Structure formats: C-alpha cells, structure tokens
A = this chain, B = another copy of it.
C-alpha cells in the first residue's frame, strides 16, 4: 500500500520525464552520485523534526541499525562530510521512502522518486542560487506544463520580520511553520493559529501579517530596503541585499517574468538558512483532463549552509544550495494529460518486425533478425515457428511498430526484403546486401533440419 508497480506505459512515460530532467542537470555541468538506499539510523535522526516518525526502519537482524533514506539531501550532506568534499555540483535521481498516508491521487506515495541538483562550496553570493532558479525555469518550460510561478524568499528576511515584530528568537521556527500554511489557508486562520496555538500577541501577529502578505519584484525589495524598521535589522538587510543581487542575475537570465518575491513563502524544513523557493503551476488545463488534479508545488529548494557541518566531527561547514524537482506530481499531471488525449504511449522502441508470409521460414527470420540486431537495429519477431502474416501485422499495430520486414519465397529468390509501412501499407522492395544473401543460399540445409 502506497507503493506500486510501474507497468510499461508508466515506466516509459517516467523514463522520458526523468530523461528531460537529467538532461537539464547535465547541461548545467552536474556530476551524478549514487548513495545507498540504506543509511545508518543515526544519520537520519534529528534532521527532519516532527517528520522523523515517517522514517522506515529496518529490523535489527544483527549488525548496524539501518533505515531507508527519507530524502536525498541528508545523504548528500553526509557524503560530503564523510569524504571531506568542500566543492561539488551533483545531481541524484533516486527513490526515497516515507511511512506517510499515501494520497495517491495527488501523486503522493510511500516510495517515490526525487530528482535533486545541488551546488556545494564557498562562492560569491547568489551566483549558484540564481542557477538553481534558472534550472527550475528551464525544466518547467521544457516539460510544457503550462503557466507557472516561482516564489522566492529568504529565511533571513523572515527572521528579520519576526524580530522587528517583537517575536523572541526561540519562537522563530514555530512561527515560520505557521506562516508556511499561508498557501493553504487564508490569513485569518493563520493569524488565529499564531495567537491561539503559538501564543503570539494579536499586535505582533497583525504586524507580521502586514509583511508576509507582500509579494512583488525588485520594486518591493527596494521598498523594504527603505523600510524604517526592517532596514535596521542586520539579518533582514543582508537577506534583502542578496535578494536584490539575485533579481539582477535573474534579469540577465531573462526569467524574472515568472519569479515572485513572496514574503509568505517559508518552506517546512528546519535546515534552510538563506534563499528559499518553490514553484507552483498557475492553472491546470482543465478542459483537457477529466478530473482536475490539485498538485501543489512542483519544485522547491533553498540554501542550507549548516547541514554538512552536522556530519563533520569538527563541525566544518560547507555552504550548499539545491533544488528538488517534484517529479511524482509532474508525472501525475502528464499521465492525466496522456489519458485524456487518448494518446497511446509506446512502451518499446522496436523499429521493425521481421515477418514471413508463409510456413517453413523460421530460419530465414532468425537469420535476418540476427543481422539486424548486429547492425544495431531494434527488431522483434514472433516466437512462433509459423505465425500467420495477419497476426504479425496485428502485433505491429498493437505495439506501435512502424515497419515490417517481410521475406517470402519470392523475396528470397529475388534477394530482396519487402519493407512495409504498417500505417500506410506502402511497400518497397529492398535488396539485402551480399553477405546476407549468401547466407540464404545455404538456408535449405539448416531449414530442413529445423
């Protein structure tokens, strides 16, 4: 439950999707790494806050205490620290595991793919951060998912806001997780959670509300840099300065049209320390799908400068920024779209079916298909001694195989193969090359013994 087999049509669509994402990661010069599905339990403890209860643990059968990885970020940080790597651009596409309540219609499973791209290293500010946003932009554009928006914020700006609103530092993280709900609840509800559950004063909550409902672009950044209170806060000033720089780089990339500086964006995870971002699709093409799917965010990420240090015995920090593409959610959208369009996803890549029109020609088919395979051509034949031609052509139609290479007595005599376009039924006779023809001269002997 919450895991699933991927039948060929799934797997083929998923392969195409993953290929597009990986192509983008490679275009940006990332190297692949692979880490084990099994991690030591202690590596995962204390990294996911409340979500720790969702970690799958392995039975103690002697040896180390193990768990299934929960994401790809913590293993990456563990990998960097273990190998004392201070500088790396990597991608990782792999499955992660969560003992969650699966919401399969929204593309949430207990076993699912993550596609992560991360840049580790001490660099000049906002250059790698800008590249992560460019990557999100490229992937969502490439996949033609419709209109999208990338919300950007900075944990330092949020913390600055909390500080100038008089929130004690001990309540920053819990206030942050309440702000994070603004994409699912109206402000009134978020406000009452702040005052009720989190114990903020109504005035502080209202004050926060004035800030976190703001969103815009460079103009908003400039305005907040002039804000009499916020401009006095060191963290906020730093964050806003970097945000301005980020927008300049994004302008050079030509992608600010899809970027929104949004103070309500908080992101759930504790480990973010700077820029955070999240991409949402702006509308489903509802006229094309039967049931509209609410998919939420399709990509997210941010800067986490402290995580690697948690795994280093001396606490040495390696600044990191990364992005995770929500491939499962994107997959459910594409799947719905394919279903609605009635398009048939080809599950194989076979180019030609080797066929014979009458009996006693199995040897001819075996010989011909072997030549085709050796020439790198994707070819199939039916595993029957004497299949009917109709059955063979039917198989082509069922599997979407575009061509049939037909050889009968007449073709053997003439030294040709009849190449048939399955869709149009057009046929051309093509001579097959000498070596092949020569082989057929000796076929009688082999055939008679078959």
A residues near B, CB below 8 A? 1, 3-8, 10-12, 14-15, 26-38, 56-61, 63-64, 68, 79, 82-83, 89-90, 95, 97, 99, 110-111, 119, 121, 123-124, 127-128, 130-131, 134, 138, 245, 248-249, 251-254, 347-350, 362-363, 366-367, 370, 373-374, 376-380, 383-385, 399, 446, 449-450
Given contacts A56-B58, A90-B8, contact A376 B33 (CB under 8 A): no
4 extra interchain contacts, Cβ-Cβ under 8 A, other than A37-B95, A138-B374, A252-B363?
A: A28-B379, A29-B399, A89-B348, A252-B370
Contact indicator B11/A253 (Cβ below 8 Å) = no
- Bound-state Cα–Cα, A99 to B59, Å: 12
Which chain B residues lie closer than 8 Å to A130 at the CB level? 366
Which chain B residues lie closer than 8 Å to A99 at the CB level? 61, 63
- Bound-state Cα–Cα, A251 to B348, Å: 27
- Bound-state Cα–Cα, A29 to B377, Å: 10
- Bound-state Cα–Cα, A384 to B254, Å: 20
Q: Which of A31, A97, A450 has the most CB of B within 10 A?
A: A31
Which chain B residues lie closer than 8 Å to A58 at the CB level? 56-59, 68
Which chain B residues lie closer than 8 Å to A347 at the CB level? 31-32
Contact indicator B34/A10 (Cβ below 8 Å) = yes
Which chain B residues lie closer than 8 Å to A95 at the CB level? 37
Copies of this chain per assembly: 2
Contact indicator B6/A33 (Cβ below 8 Å) = yes
Which chain B residues lie closer than 8 Å to A63 at the CB level? 1, 99
**CB < 8 Å: which of B7, B373, B379 contacts A138?**
B373
- Bound-state Cα–Cα, A95 to B37, Å: 9
**CB < 8 Å: which of B26, B370, B376 contacts A254?**
B370
Given contacts A124-B383, A249-B366, contact A35 B5 (CB under 8 A): yes
Contact indicator B11/A252 (Cβ below 8 Å) = no
Which chain B residues lie closer than 8 Å to A6 at the CB level? 33-35
Looking at the assembled complex, report how far the CB atom of A234 sits from the nearest CB atom of chain B, in whole angstroms: 23
**Which 9 interchain pairs have the tightest Cβ spacing?**
A123-B383, A8-B31, A3-B36, A29-B380, A6-B34, A31-B347, A11-B32, A252-B366, A29-B350
Contact indicator B27/A12 (Cβ below 8 Å) = no
User: Which residue of chain B lies nearest to A119 when distances are taken between CB atoms in the complex?
Assistant: B383
Which chain B residues lie closer than 8 Å to A5 at the CB level? 33-36, 79, 82-83
Contact indicator B90/A450 (Cβ below 8 Å) = no
- Bound-state Cα–Cα, A63 to B37, Å: 21
- Bound-state Cα–Cα, A70 to B302, Å: 37
Given contacts A1-B63, A26-B378, A58-B59, contact A366 B8 (CB under 8 A): no
